[in-house]
Structure 1
Amino acid sequence: MTGPAGTEPVVVRVDRDRCIGSGMCALSAPGSLALDADGRARPVAEYADAGAELTDGLAEAVEYCPVEALALHSARGGYRIAPAE
């Protein structure tokens, strides 16, 4: 899966043991994250093309998670994009 020039697919990882279901992620990136029946975050798709608008929403979701249950990784290289290590 490839995106616009200069972008790459990303993977959103959710630590479901940490997630408290605040919903901030689903509000920040509704096309990429949703709350499941248990009220916890889950990715909508396995991979997301990292266009500028999408990446900004996902980066906000990761940043605003009150319990740091989200991480954004490169789908190709596996390295962490956000939050910074």
Structure 2
Amino acid sequence: MTGSAEAEAVVVRVDRGRCIGSGMCALSAPGSLVLDADGLAQPVAEYADGGAELTDGLAEAVEFCPVEALALHSARGGYRIAPAE
């Protein structure tokens, strides 16, 4: 996905009530997600606010979250991209 002409800017949303701080997301997408002082997932600034390019690592992080605490949304349209509802 990285570098693709069709790359879509995405925003990552974290359900902090669901997140268990496994760290799998931060390992899969270290440029996109980090664990905060509470040990819970948090998107880096551009993924939290204006949106940034969807990468393979970020898509994988969302897919493999053990408690489905992560969701990708279109930065432009706001619609949910992953996981499917």
Same fold (TM over 0.5): yes
For the residue of structure 1 that corresponds to 2:12, the secondary structure is strand
TM-score relative to the length of structure 2: 0.85
Question: How far off is 1:4 after superposition?
Answer: 5.3
Tell me how far apart the structure 1 counterparts of residues 35 and 10 of structure 2 sit (CA, whole Å).
19
TM-score relative to the length of structure 1: 0.85
For the residue of structure 1 that corresponds to 2:20, the secondary structure is coil
Question: How far off is 1:8 after superposition?
Answer: 2.0
Q: Which residue of 1 aligns with 2:42?
A: 42
Question: How far off is 1:79 after superposition?
Answer: 1.0
Amino acid at match of 2:78: G
Q: Which residue of 2 aligns with 1:72?
A: 72
Tell me how far apart the structure 1 counterparts of residues 58 and 37 of structure 2 sit (CA, whole Å).
21
1:18-58 Cα distance to aligned partner (Å, 9 max, x none)? 000000000110000000011000001222123xxx1x111
Q: Which runs of 4+ in 1 moved over 6 A?
A: none
Report the more deviating stretch, 57-66 or 25-34: 57-66
How many residues align structurally? 79
CA RMSD, aligned part only?
1.3
Q: Which residue of 2 aligns with 1:13?
A: 13
Amino acid at match of 2:21: G
Structure 2 unaligned regions, length at least 5: none
